[in-house]
Amino acid sequence: MDGLVVANYGSTSLVEDGQGQLSLCTSRKSTGRIVCGDRVTWRSTGNAEGVIEKRLDRRTVLQRHDSNGKSRPLAANIDQVIVVSAPEPPLDRYLIDRYLAAAEIISATPSLVINKMDLLDPTGIRLMQDRIREYREIGYQVSFTCALSGKGVEELSGRLKVGILVGQSGVGKSSLIKRLLPDRDIAVGTLSDASGLGRHTTTTTTLYHLPGGGDLIDSPGVRDFRLRDVDPVALAHAFRDFRPFLGQCRFHNCRHDREPGCALSIAARNCEINSRRLKSYRNILHS
């Protein structure tokens, strides 16, 4: 029978059948790596257990790299990548850029959520709006939320198909899901007072069905997210603000890394694109 992987624990996966029943399944070696969001063919062995026999074709797959630089799939068959940031831990625009580019590369719809807005006074709110204005000007959907009060959370849920929440540890991804699904037992942590960085309250990527429709995947928080082995042409195209200038460089194989006649360098000097975004692209290129 066919099923949906709603969580993966390494060698075993939690598989949901068509009636919403869950079974803990092992995988055959021939299936390859199984991740949350995968559609699979499996058979029951009784007692809410089973065996995954085949992984069905994926529409999309979001990858991340481990500490050894090896590519690891994080989630499959997603339509949206929702990058969650917050005033604490401090907003990292270079990390946001990498997530947005990763979403563009797999043809998922990227958006940005600024959570924990209750931590800011009116001046802080204005400063935060200034910091993320560039993303709105580029054309990304930007939302402001407060998981504690629920402000902005319902608006977020109203536009979900199959979305994944990604971002730093401690920005409140699990808190957002707990607000949407208050009856689910989701671990919600706080920032570590010692480091100012978030504890990893989510250790397993997990898919939740929302009452109003749509699915939301919660992923473990990260302190870094890197794109490796990306074709420079695909990477440049993943920065949607660069697209009007691509193909206009002096050299057809320009990597946009300070080559003479680079259209992106010229556009940055003329303030037609954000020079910080060009620096962010080059950081990814060099990594």
Per-residue pLDDT tens digits for 5-50: 999 988 899 999 999 899 999 998 889 899 999 999 999 998 889 9
Q: What is the pLDDT of residues 191-216, one digit of tens each?
A: 333 323 333 344 578 899 988 888 99
Q: What is the pLDDT of residues 109-140, one digit of tens each?
A: 999 999 999 999 999 999 999 999 999 999 99
pTM equals 0.88
CATH code for residues 232-286: 1.10.40.50
How does pLDDT run across 265-283, given as a tens digit for each residue?
999 999 999 999 999 999 9
**Given the DSSP bridges, would you call strands 2-8 and 39-46 parallel, antiparallel or unpaired?**
antiparallel
DSSP 77: S
The answer to whether 257 and 213 are in contact (CB under 8 A) is no
DSSP character for 117? G
Q: Does domain 2-55 have CATH number 2.40.50.140?
A: yes
Q: What is the pLDDT of residue 192?
A: 33
Matching fold, domains 2-55 and 232-286: no
For residue 204 the two structure tokens come to 């397993």
Give CA–CA dist 32/210, Å, rounded: 29
Domain 67-218 = CATH 1.20.1250.20:
no
Residue 269 tokens read as 């000097």
The residue to which tokens 């992987």 are assigned = 5
Domain ranges of the chain: 2-55, 67-218, 232-286
In this structure, what is the dihedral angle of CA atoms 170, 174, 175, 180, given to the nearest 10 degrees? 160
CA–CA dist 283, 243 (Å, integer): 18
